[in-house]
Amino acid sequence: MSENKIIKLTADYVKKTLSGESSGHDWWHIYRVWNNAKQIAQFESVDLLVVELAAFLHDIFDWKFADGNVLVGSEMARKWLDSPNVKDSIVNYVC
């Protein structure tokens, strides 16, 4: 699967998952983080796929709503990234 397709699928997943989110970590917050991350990435030596996926998934689930489980966000991100078959090395960096 192409990187562009992975990004599109991830954006759609996050948008759907966070619709109705009222804690301030809604789709528009994610969208702003994603745009800022891409701008910063232009001046750094980074893997843009890692940056974009991490920006999209950084608030996929807030530990405060999971009885303090600080790993729940990474676990959900990992589960999602397995579905479009993202390489393990990319998944590990993102999570």
Output the pLDDT for position 78.
93
Amino acid at 92: N
Please report which residue ranges of 1-95 form alpha helices under DSSP H.
3-17, 27-41, 48-57, 72-82, 88-94
What ranges do the domains of the chain cover?
A: 3-94
Fold observed for domain 3-94: Cyclin A; domain 1 (1.10.472)
For the chain (length 95 residues), average pLDDT per consecutive 10? 95 90 79 97 97 94 69 89 91 93
Q: What contacts 13, CB < 8 A, 6 or more positions away?
A: 80
Output the pLDDT for position 22.
63
